[in-house]
Amino acid sequence: MGDGNSVVIIGAGVMGLGVAWQLSKAGRRVIVLEKNTPGSGASRAAAGMLAPMAELQYDEAPLLEFSMASQKRWPSFVQELEADAGTSVEYETSGTLLVAWDRDEADDLKRHYEYQKSVGMQVEWLSGRGLRRLEKMLSPRIVSGVHCADDVQVSNRRYVEALEAAARAQGADIRTGVEVQRLIYEDDKVLGVETTQDEKIYAEMTVVAAGAWSHALQIPARVPLHIRPVKGQMMALQMDPKAPLLRHVIRRRLEGVYLVPKSDGTLVVGGTSEEMGFDDRITAYGLRHLLEHAFEIVPGIDELPVKETWVGFRPAGRDSGPLLGRSSVPGLAMITGHFRHGIQLSPLSIDVVTAAILNDELPQIAQAFDPKRFESPI
């Protein structure tokens, strides 16, 4: 049986690794189980944008509050992480340009801009000419947009590597190639997990951090874990790192397309949003969608070589919010269901779930995302 300080975490994405790092630092004995390699799911597929309002809607007030607080947490979180990991996550204060293609898009974006100002964001409305003073390669058809100077980004893949290094440095036991088959559930309590190799690992607390694969775990029936995969196709183009086409993140809000320049000259282009289950095929539709909309924003990309294409699966829950903290079943906690916002929300998500496990109390800012909001009565 597990001792009073033991924790087993299912999944080694940014959430699972982050909680492992912090719990290990607090003196807990932590085992992380990952069926593939660390960060091989949505964490690897992300673009690394930290933009708290780019995709949120006006009726998502609790998520917006949480997102803004997570944005404020990022600088100190990065400082602590890089010190423990001994490596950089390439945290860059590049800013974002939200652009409008025509009058209809401009009207929608203007409403979004007014909302951004109302919640205290430092944003500036720019004409098409003003946008092109910041990014000369933008299409002349872009009519207007918003400069979000406070938006930042990280290298999501370097972020995973840093979290893994920091967790290991604090003593976490990270095991790859190990798939969890079910939870050990006895006497109305989760006691650990059983793997597909029939190994039983007992722990005082079991944490579900398996992203879009969380739904496949055999969870106690009264804890509904309605997490589904939303497919996203993405690609990377290669710019000249000495003379990149873009320096800001560019987003076309209504179309959901974004271009994210990286320090090595990579230009990440994303992303589709498809209800296709775990279909991991790159399709002609997906590539056409990305390239057509990216070309409309920055025509000069047409001669850039394609560096990489990939598919990721966003973990989408029943509502817009993640599942954070302890469930009503003793011994079971969750950190999953972040949909499109996982990287951006990760610092605060890791903080509140760590606090919930250590102190048996979910911080007030995360109350709207308590897993018990979906649970059935005993």
d(CA 26, CA 11): 20
What is the model's pLDDT at position 285?
95
Buried b / exposed e over 64-89, threshold 16 CB at 10 Å, is: bebbbbbbebbeebbeebbebbeeeb
Across residues 309-338, what is the average pLDDT? 94
- Given a cut of 50, whether residue 1 has pLDDT beyond it is no
Mean of pLDDT values over 14-36: 98
Q: Is the pLDDT of residue 179 over 70?
A: yes
Rg (CA), the chain: 21
- Crossing angle between the packed helical segments 156-169 and 61-85, to the nearest 10 degrees: 60
Measured distance CA(148)–CA(188) in Å, rounded: 49
> Which pLDDT tens digit goes with each residue over 237-285?
999 999 999 999 999 877 778 999 999 999 999 989 999 999 999 999 9
Q: Is the pLDDT of residue 55 over 70?
A: no
CATH of domain 6-49+157-227+318-374: 3.50.50.60
Q: What span, in angstroms and rounded, lies between the C-alpha atoms of 225 and 23?
A: 24
Rounded to 10 degrees, the C-alpha dihedral 244/106/292/263 comes to: 20
196-210, 243-257, 295-309: segment of lowest average pLDDT: 243-257
Helix (H, G, I), strand (E, B) or coil at 107: helix
Number of Cβ within 10 Å of residue 365's Cβ equals 17
CATH H superfamily, domain 96-150+229-316:
D-Amino Acid Oxidase, subunit A, domain 2 (3.30.9.10)
Q: What is the pLDDT of residue 202?
A: 97
- For residues 266 and 239, is the Cβ–Cβ distance under 8 A? yes
Closest-CA residue to 229 (of 216, 213, 217): 213
pLDDT at 375: 77
Q: Is the pLDDT of residue 8 over 90?
A: yes
Tokens of 373: 């909001």
Percentage of the chain beyond pLDDT 70 is: 96
SS3 109: helix
Contact 207, 199 (CB under 8 A): no
What is the tens place of the pLDDT at every residue in 268-280?
999 899 999 999 9
Degrees, nearest 5: CA angle 146-250-123: 25
Q: What's the mean pLDDT in 2-8?
A: 80
Q: What is the pLDDT of residue 299?
A: 96
Residue 307 has pLDDT above 70, yes or no: yes
Return all residues near 64 (Cβ < 8 A) that are at least 6 apart.
52, 53, 56, 119
Q: In this structure, how many other beta carbons lie within 10 angstroms of the beta carbon of residue 275? A: 10
Domain ranges of the chain: 6-49+157-227+318-374, 96-150+229-316
Please say if the pLDDT value at position 174 is more than 60.
yes
How sure is the predictor about 226, in pLDDT bands with cuts at 50, 70 and 90? confident
Whether the pLDDT of residue 11 is over 70: the answer is yes
Mean pLDDT (the chain, rounded) = 92
pLDDT score for 256: 78
pLDDT at 378 over 60: no
Per-residue pLDDT for 13 more than 50? yes
- Listed in sequence order, the residues at least 6 apart from 80 whose beta carbon sits closer than 8 Å to its beta carbon are none
Q: What is the pLDDT of residue 231?
A: 96
